[in-house]
Structure 1
Amino acid sequence: MTRVRVRVPASTANLGSGFDALGMALALYDEIEVWTTDGGLSVEVTGEGADTVAKDETHLVVRAVRAACELIGFAPAGLGLSCANAIPHARGLGSSAAAIVGGIAAAYGLAGRPLDDDALHLAAAFEGHADNVAASLLGGLVVAWEDDGRFRAARVEPHADLQPVAIIPAERSETHVTRGLLPDKVPHADAAFAAGRGALAVHAISTRPDLLLPALADRLHQDYRESAWPSTIRVVRELRAAGVAAAVSGAGPTVLALTTDGVVPQGVDLAGFTVLPVAVDRSGVTVEPFE
């Protein structure tokens, strides 16, 4: 192919105690068009990040395209790139993961190759973990892990009744900053709690939505990050006190409310937040040729 159009979903990761292990794709999409040229590079960006992201070889989608091309032995003379971004940047909704997956998927599409396990591993290597990229790649709910230096993931079909709500603040957060707030060690009791609730989250999201509230409880990372985004943690606590399964989305500061009715109850102070009902994406990244 000489031109491809890629649609790649946002993602929410951790889902409570499933730190770096659980992710889910959301129906909020970046759309990327990539084409081969006789030489050079052109980059256009509209929507989220249009005024701030690089327009050269350091653009994350371009870096992902280049890395995938090298991996699969595809060497276009030049590239054109157009990004229409809808996923908010630095909000914990997987914008960087979507850029990485979109670029890799575009390279595979241009080379006429189906996405494979090498694509997942390459995408996860960019991030250092596979939860967000696997969700954007595969759609649905994913369980991600690393085995002997190889990133892997398994897809699980989410329950049909799930109606996620993203509660998005204006403030931004950078993953490398919030990771720096985490301790090197956690109490054994908290590790055991996380193992049980992470497993329960898979069951609740796929089969038993009535168990979502206990399933999304966390002792592993959220409280340690409270100093970075106190309003986010307050909203999570208020929602959970009202019976809503809520957790920090990824590295924050977005709050994920995982509901079956799409309703956020009255009485929770959401000043400074935008409430965005968003469906589960069940297809993952898509690639198609265009002229």
Structure 2
Amino acid sequence: MMSSGSLKVPASTANLGPGFDSIGLAFSLYLMVDVKRSDEWSFAHKSELLNGLPKDDQHLIAIVAKKTAQLRGVDMPPVAAVLESDIPLARGLGSSAAAIAAGIEIANQFADLQLTDQEKLNIGDQFEGHPDNIGASLFGGMVCGVSLGETAELLSLPAPDVDLIAIVPPYELKTEDARNALPDSFSRGDAVLASAVSNMLVAAFMQHDYETAGRMMERDVFHEPYRAALIKEFGPARQKARELGAYATVISGAGPTVLTLAPRGHGEKIAAAFKNQFADCDVLQLDVESNGPVWQ
């Protein structure tokens, strides 16, 4: 049973276009938590990105840790935690999933739960409602999964060998608002097309065929046609990225971050063009993160 430690959890993107609520990819932004046993719950935040979050047991990490232990019939001992993060909040970069993964890991270590990977996934899926971001933050790399109510299924896919470039706008887009933009139902024809495009996307990634994967990423039917109007950078970024040889540009999760996948060696050129065109945004060059949470 652990009494102190440092935990590093990766951020993630979800969907990659048509893999709606199913495909996740972990990358090189992180939530870092220094944690130790304490007489009471406390959270200190060293990063400006975390300003305004609760400092007591109402913090998401504490809520998740206590619930995780409760599911095993164990009392979760209080901890004091110091957090640093370079994951922007409410930007479609999996900040909540990283916190949920941290809560599960802290409960597992500090309450000695000995959870299996499947149990971790099921708990995370209950909090998130879908396994894409939480699967990527828990296990790293690229994942494909489905939520089945009380349980979830998840498989790892080959991590894409690509450059990643993210445009992070200065404004937030709440997941609830992004979901409210979606239709309540689809016609049979649209449902068949959306499913087929998503199937092709997974098959292309399995074969490392990034040209085909890119074409499928930009043929989403489920959400991007409805969310595009909420993110003014999306259309111009896709056009510019195409001009510079990118595979695809998509909305990261529910947005507003815009994510481009490009051939190796193209990232720097595309990032420079984005910085010039979207001066009010943060432009990040990222790497795929193959690991989930790591204790140090």
Structure-2 separation of matches of 1:47 and 1:86: 8
How far residue 131 of structure 1 moved from its aligned partner, in angstroms, is: 0.6
How far residue 144 of structure 1 moved from its aligned partner, in angstroms, is: 1.2
1:77 and 1:20, CA in 2 relative to 1: closer, same or farther beyond 3 A?
A: closer
Matched, 1:205 2:205: yes
Q: Which residue of 2 aligns with 1:286?
A: 294
CA RMSD, 1 decimal: 2.0
Structure-2 separation of matches of 1:126 and 1:173: 20
Structure-2 separation of matches of 1:246 and 1:259: 9
Tell me if the contact between 1:69 and 1:108 (Cα under 8 Å) persists in the aligned partners. yes
Q: Which residue of 2 aligns with 1:111?
A: 111
Q: Which residue of 1 aligns with 2:224?
A: 222
Question: Secondary structure of 1:10's match?
Answer: strand
Structure-1 separation of matches of 2:77 and 2:137: 28
1:74 and 1:130, CA in 2 relative to 1: closer, same or farther beyond 3 A?
A: same
Unaligned runs of 5+ in 2: none
More deviation, 173-182/222-231: 222-231
The 5 Å alignment of 1:7-26 reads 7-26=8-27
Q: Which residue of 1 aligns with 2:132?
A: 131
Tell me if the contact between 1:166 and 1:278 (Cα under 8 Å) persists in the aligned partners. yes
Cα deviation per residue 1:40-86 (whole Å; 9 max; x = unaligned)?
A: 21111121433221112221111111111212343244221111111
Q: TM-score, normalised by structure 2?
A: 0.89
How far residue 235 of structure 1 moved from its aligned partner, in angstroms, is: 2.1
Q: How many residues align?
A: 286
1:114 and 1:286, CA in 2 relative to 1: closer, same or farther beyond 3 A?
A: farther
Output the amino acid matched with 1:257: T
Structure-2 separation of matches of 1:148 and 1:266: 43
Structure-1 separation of matches of 2:259 and 2:192: 23
1:116 and 1:35, CA in 2 relative to 1: closer, same or farther beyond 3 A?
A: same
More deviation, 68-77/39-48: 68-77
Q: Which residue of 2 aligns with 1:44?
A: 44
Tell me if the contact between 1:9 and 1:285 (Cα under 8 Å) persists in the aligned partners. yes
More deviation, 79-88/112-121: 112-121
Q: Which residue of 1 aligns with 2:55?
A: 55
Pick from 254, 273, 276 the counterpart of residue 281 of structure 2: 273
Tell me if the contact between 1:140 and 1:283 (Cα under 8 Å) persists in the aligned partners. yes
How far residue 237 of structure 1 moved from its aligned partner, in angstroms, is: 4.4
How far residue 210 of structure 1 moved from its aligned partner, in angstroms, is: 2.6
1:115 and 1:82, CA in 2 relative to 1: closer, same or farther beyond 3 A?
A: farther
Q: Greater helix share, 1 or 2?
A: 2
Cα deviation per residue 1:120-143 (whole Å; 9 max; x = unaligned)?
A: 111111111111000100111111
Structure-1 separation of matches of 2:8 and 2:23: 22
Tell me if the contact between 1:201 and 1:215 (Cα under 8 Å) persists in the aligned partners. yes
Q: Between the two proteins, what is the percent identity of the paired residues?
A: 33
Q: TM-score, normalised by structure 1?
A: 0.91
Cα deviation per residue 1:233-279 (whole Å; 9 max; x = unaligned)?
A: 44234434654211000000111101122241876632322221110
Structure-2 separation of matches of 1:93 and 1:60: 16
